[in-house]
Amino acid sequence: MENNDASNYKSLLRFTTAGSVDDGKSTLIGRLLYDSKSIFEDQMEHIVQSSKRLGKEDVDLSLLTDGLRAEREQGITIDVAYRYFATPSRKFIIADTPGHIQYTRNMVTGASTADLAVILIDARKGVLEQTIRHTYIATLLDIRHIIFCINKMDMVNYSEIDFIKIKNDLSDLSSRLGVEDVHYIPISAKYGDNVVEPSENMLWYTGMTFLRLIETIQIKKDKNSSDARFPVQTVIRPLSSEYHDYRSYAGRIAGGVFRKGDEIVVMPSMLRSRIKSIDVMDRSLDEASAGDSVSIQIEDQIDINRGDLIVKPESLATPGQDITTMLCWFNKKPLKKGVKYFLRNNTRETSCIVKSVNYRMNISTLEKETTDQPVSMNDIVNITLKTASPLSYDSYNKNNITGSIILIDEGTNETLAAGMIE
Amino acid sequence: MEINDEHLKELEDEAIFVMREVAAQFERKVILFSGGKDSIVLVHLAKKAFWPAKMPFSLLHIDTGHNFEETLIFRDELIRELRVELIVGLVQDSIDEGKVVEETGINASRNKAQSVTLLDIIDRMGIDVAVGGGRRDEEKARAKERFFSHRNEFGQWDPKNQRPELWNIFNGHKNFGEHFRVFPISNWTELDVWQYILRENIKLPGLYYTHRRKIFLRNGVYLAWAPFMQLKPSEKVFEADVRCRTIGDITCTGVTLSKAQSLEEIITEIAATRVTERGGRYDDKRSEAAMEDRKKEGYF
């Protein structure tokens, strides 16, 4: 394996795919798995049989990702599906998000754990409203790498002129939205051009194939490197004779680095102490950094509970109860001002009420609109809410973990909305 | 064998985070323990997540009565070591109580009946979360599964109406009588599991390594022979060197012809294989949506 070089190299790449209905997302993933020999014989046999049963001429590779009965029957993808494959250089987790009824919900969900977004465009149609929407959501969720796949090139005679026109439109869109790293590939998912193998039909394209690009793309891991953040999940107290006085705080580091001996501040209580030990089972570490699940023992006996945030004195999180956030609303029931919702910010849970809807984002025109219309499913709005007890948070662009929230319905327990704190 | 374990570390960190969320959000917690490698890995992760405290889970084994003997021995040894409670749900009890009608015929299996026993125990013992070793790469209905998967008061899964799951925020809110299934190793593949077992030096039942066994061939799958199994006239029992890729109920667990004696050899074998591990699972061959249907009814 060839992957121990740069520190920002990540051997696990999570990406999400977005596109309009019939843009060929499932076909692209099917093609990727098929041509990279990640489809097993029994899976292939299934797809061949199902394609026949559904009366299809060719083997329909999209059947590989459409896992639910209703999806296969209707030929659509309903829910986010996760797919896995690996090449010698990387392991990939794909969140395949359908562009259907609950498109915002699905794409936001897929994007929330992705390092990279793949957005499909139909070469015959070019940049559509949905393309703007998908690109906007990717940037809203702070995805810094986008690959635009201009698909169905076979249906425009593999025309370079068509490709360049779409590429220019996309380039305008990306710079308007401030995307850091953008790539464009002309492909035919159905016939495999530029997916795994270079296309013989588009010799004018000299860039990388899709697979080559996702294998080699450098993903910035610097998101949470500066400010140390440790949200406490649970307290570990063995109460056994062997570990009678042992007490540690378990969690996954959400940013920065913690070292043995570091001075820490517990938020919101603002009590101070020092790190006595950082444990992973019976091993004690000198330091641990973002992403590590550890448990931390501290010098002093102070009150620390689930939902508290351990930080360092030189970089405190923001304390507060009045929060302004971008919010994606997922539920059929519209958002109601003044109604109590549960709010989760990492491991902390409290109640909140929405005080004001500041503006609605028109995600087709990217205009901010003031409106008195109810906030309903698929809407993206900017709101101010008030929490019952204080949060210790960061802005989402500074830290995706301490800067994100969800709202939960107190009656039905459904997850209603996702928020990115400003 | 050198394993690049950067991805294993990330998967482990994620799984431990999920385990701890379960501990914090639920009351009566069990790990579904089948004696298979995935549930053994879960137990290892739970051990790691709460060390040096005892894991806050009981182990729940749904016992079809059609076991590989080795699995039960392994289970009991593990329980002694962990000092946690073992709950055994007997499918035979559900049959005797008339809660489920036993399948008959050549392909009879108690696999489906397990769901009834499981839901019965969950209900009776007030279990509000059952942690399972399901992985999204196993099967296409599982690819749509959440880490925190809600079950209504009938224990049913509603795949078209799942809660969205964002970032690493897991919503375990539920009403009385409902429960959750949680899958900490959702993002692992079969190969990841094996590489992790090697990396952590986790002990497995001998069934996973090559051994001599009486087997027969049915619909392209080698099945382990046991005295209570009915054979078709054309089916011949013979001995071969085999190992299990998955372990479940003996009636539906396929075995593979293999001479792999070590974890290294198993990993090499799996990396080269062209059939999924559930390709040998007879229970999935019943129909295209076999897994989806069983999951809706309350299967693991």
Across the interface, whether the CB atoms of B166 and A418 are under 8 A apart is answered: yes
pLDDT of residue B292: 67
Residue of A nearest to B145 (CA): A81
Beta-carbon contacts of residue A205 (< 8 Å; ≥ 6 apart): A160, A163, A185, A186, A194, A199
Q: Of residues A355 and B227, which shows the higher confidence score?
A: A355
pLDDT of residue B300: 64
pLDDT of residue A31: 81
Helix (H) and strand (E) counts for chain A? 7, 23
Instruction: Give the pLDDT score at A228.
Output: 97
DSSP B28: S
Close Cβ partners of A279 (under 8 Å, ≥ 6 residues apart): A248, A285, A294, A295, A296, A297, B51
pLDDT at residue A312 in the model: 97
Largest CA distance in chain A: 76
What's the rounded Cα separation, in Å, for the pair A62 and A47? 9
Task: Supply the pTM of this predicted model.
Answer: 0.91
Which pLDDT band holds residue A10 (cuts at 50, 70, 90)?
Answer: very low
pLDDT in tens, A120-161: 999 999 999 889 989 999 999 999 999 999 999 999 999 999
How far off is chain A from B167, nearest CA to CA, in Å?
Answer: 5
Calculate helix-pair angle for B69-82, B37-50, nearest 10 degrees.
0
Model pLDDT for residues A191-220, shown as the tens digit of each residue? 999 999 999 999 999 999 999 999 999 887
Averaged confidence pLDDT in chain B: 87
For chain A, give every domain's residue range.
12-216, 229-311, 318-421
A287: which strand partners? Answer: A259
pLDDT tens, A260-294? Answer: 999 999 999 999 999 999 999 889 999 999 999 99
Fold of the A12-216 domain: Rossmann fold (3.40.50)
Contacts of residue A242 in chain B, CB cutoff 8 Å?
A: 52
Question: Using CA atoms, how far apart are residues A250 and B48, in angstroms rounded to an integer?
Answer: 11
- Are the beta carbons of B91 and B232 closer than 8 angstroms? no
Q: Give the tens place of pLDDT for each residue, A228-241.
A: 999 999 999 998 88
Domains of chain B: residue spans and CATH: 6-192+288-297 (3.40.50.620), 204-285 (no CATH)
pLDDT at res. A3: 34
Neighbours of A384 (CB within 10 A): 14
pLDDT band at B297 (very low <50, low <70, confident <90, very high): low
Q: Which residue has the tokens 């023992």?
A: A297
* Topology classification of domain A229-311: Elongation Factor Tu (Ef-tu); domain 3 (2.40.30)
Query: What number is the average pLDDT over the span B29-51?
Result: 95
Find where tokens 């001002």 sit.
Answer: A337
Select the residue of B143, B173, B276 nearest A67 (Cβ to Cβ): B143
- Mean pLDDT estimate for chain A: 88
Interface A:B, Cβ pairs < 8 A:
173
Q: Cα–chain-centroid distance for residue A379? A: 18
Radius of gyration for chain A, computed over Cα atoms and rounded to the nearest angstrom? 24
Mark which residues 92-151 of A lie under 8 Å from B by CB.
93, 105-106, 108-109, 112-113
Model confidence pLDDT, tens digit, residues B187-197: 998 889 999 99
Mean pLDDT calculated for residue range B110-123? 87
What integer pLDDT is reported at residue A74 of this predicted model? 58
A70 versus A397: which is more confidently predicted?
Answer: A397
What is the rounded average pLDDT of the residues A339-355?
97
Q: Nearest-CA distance from A108 to chain B in Å?
A: 8
pLDDT in tens, A87-123: 878 889 999 887 666 678 888 999 999 999 999 999 9
- Write the pLDDT tens digit of every residue in B162-190: 889 999 999 999 999 999 999 999 999 88
Q: In 10 A of CB A78, how many CB atoms?
A: 21
Chain B neighbors of A106, CB-CB under 8 A: 164
* Fold classification of A318-421 (topology level): Elongation Factor Tu (Ef-tu); domain 3 (2.40.30)
Q: Which residues of B touch A291 (CB under 8 A)?
A: 10, 13
CA gap A214, A28 in Å, rounded: 14
- Contacting residues of A for B139, CB less than 8 Å apart: 67
Nearest CA in chain A to B12: A293
User: Would you tell me the crossing angle of helices B190-200 and B37-50 to the nearest 10 degrees?
Assistant: 50
pLDDT of the residue at B87: 96
Identify which has the larger pLDDT, A21 or B90: B90
How confident is the model at residue A361, as a pLDDT? 94
User: Residue A6 has what pLDDT?
Assistant: 31
Q: Choose, out of A10, A69, A219, the residue to mutate when testing the contact with B (most B CBs < 10 Å).
A: A69
Would you say residue A52 has pLDDT above 80? no
Is B236 near chain A, with CB under 8 Å?
Answer: no
Q: Do B173 and A346 touch (CB under 8 A)?
A: no
